[in-house]
Amino acid sequence: MSQTVLYNADVYSSVDPFANAIAFAGPEVLWVGGDEAATVMDGRLIDCQEDFITPGLTTAALDLGHTAVTGTRLLAAGIVSAHVLGTSEQLTAFASSAGVLRVTAYEFTSDGSVAPGHRPALRARVALELSPQTAPEAFVVIDTLDELRAMEARLSDSTILVAAQRAAWRLFVTAPITEADIAALGSWGLGITIAPSTHDYPIAQLLAAGAQLSFSLDPESPWATLRAAVFGPDGTSGRAAFNAVTRFAHRAIDDVSGGVLAPGASADLVRWRIGNLVVQAADERVAAWSTDPRSGTAGLPDLSPDQPLPLPVTVYVDGSPID
């Protein structure tokens, strides 16, 4: 199988923070490195004209009751994977438009029973009545602060919390989160998905408390969600925000190796047209961004409000470009 080599790019990879080339064949990344080696490789060579290459993005919660977006539209935005919640009928209709989008389907249920290939989606009032063992791998939607507090009270029982952890429960919190909730959310060891564009969540404090965060993305402009996460009142670093829509979103469904660009990883990647690459200062007392390459940290697009957001040029799934 012939390989594709993208070069003259900035490649976001933990294995090489200075990488500007990547090679893949079929569904697998083969190599990440520099232009000098890339340009003498066999296969199809593509000059990326200094564009930015990242893993494909994941929206960790898409409620089909609140949006009519199609899988084709998500792919066009650079989102290659989606955790989708809906009725059986809604999930079936969405699947028909999903194309090569990677879909993890959660079906709303009142008793934990779902169609083959689906996982349970539970409203909080239902989850409070079911045992975690009844609905393994359930995605619990918490829409109000009262529901969040009721869930906190229930999971304060260590027996129930351990059962929820073993059953791989995860939470989609669409309610506001206050400082009084941070310690509990950080201590549960459950995947928690939020939508930073909808509330001023205390993201930095949640991460510092140990919360396993992933993000529900704006399906039209996913980088706008990252901008909200970075520049909100309790914003986090660009790197932490990006992890929440790549690696951490994969971990939420127990895929510990997904969401990265490294040899052996899935060749799900996006080529973006961007402005500047920057690294947010690690010192929390400094609000500025650093472009110093000596930091040894891979840069990300400058998401400052006055900067243009990245635009997708080419989306690859399993190494194949999506038209």
The domain segmentation of the chain, as residue ranges, is 4-54+260-322, 57-251
Q: What span, in angstroms and rounded, lies between the C-alpha atoms of 142 and 121?
A: 11
User: For the CA atoms of the chain, what is the radius of gyration?
Assistant: 20
Question: What does the angle CA 147 – CA 150 – CA 153 come to, to the nearest 5 degrees?
Answer: 155
User: Average pLDDT, stretch 96-116?
Assistant: 95
The per-residue pLDDT of the chain, averaged, comes to 93
Is the pLDDT at 172 greater than 50, yes or no?
Answer: yes
Q: Kindly provide the b/e burial profile for residues 15-50, where b requires at least 16 CB atoms within 10 angstroms of the residue's own CB.
A: bbeebbbbbbbeeebbbbbeeeebeebeeebbebee
Q: What confidence tier does 280 reach under pLDDT thresholds 50, 70, 90?
A: low
The answer to whether the beta carbons of residues 48 and 8 sit under 8 Å apart is yes
Q: Is residue 46 predicted with pLDDT exceeding 60?
A: yes
Overall average pLDDT of the 220-241 stretch = 95
Q: Is the pLDDT of residue 139 over 50?
A: yes
Taking residues 95-112, report their average pLDDT.
95
C-alpha–C-alpha distance, residues 185 and 167, integer Å: 17
Q: Over 90: is that where the pLDDT of 316 sits? A: yes
**Percentage of residues of the chain with pLDDT beyond 90:** 89
298 close to 290: Cβ distance less than 8 angstroms: no
Sheet holding 289-290, edge to edge: 289-290, 277-280, 300-301
CATH homologous superfamily of 4-54+260-322 equals Urease, subunit C, domain 1 (2.30.40.10)
CA 79 to chain centre: 9
Would the pLDDT of 323 be above 80?
A: no
Q: 65-79, 116-130, 206-220, 289-303: which range is least confident on average?
A: 289-303
> Residue 281 above 60 pLDDT?
no
The pLDDT-based confidence of 296 (bands split at 50, 70, 90) is low
Q: What number does CATH give the domain 57-251?
A: 3.20.20.140
DSSP state of 310: P
Where residue 293 falls among pLDDT bands split at 50, 70, 90? very low
Cβ within 8 Å of residue 47, ≥6 positions away: 7, 8
Q: Would you say residue 287 has pLDDT above 60?
A: no
Distance CA 238, CA 290 (A): 12
User: How large is the angle between the packed helices 145-155 and 158-166, nearest 10 degrees?
Assistant: 100
Residue 62 contacts residue 86 (beta carbons within 8 Å): no
Interacting residues of 31 by C-beta distance below 8 A, sequence separation 6+: 22, 23, 263
Burial of 79 (0-12, 13-18, 19+ CB in 10 A): buried
Distances, alpha carbon 30 to alpha carbons 26, 38, 50, 322, in Å: 10, 12, 21, 20
Position 286 pLDDT exceeds 50: no
pLDDT at 288 over 80: no
Residue 51 has pLDDT above 60, yes or no: yes
**pLDDT higher than 80, residue 284:** no
Tokens of 61: 């919660």
Examine the pLDDT at 177 and tell me if it is beyond 60. Answer: yes
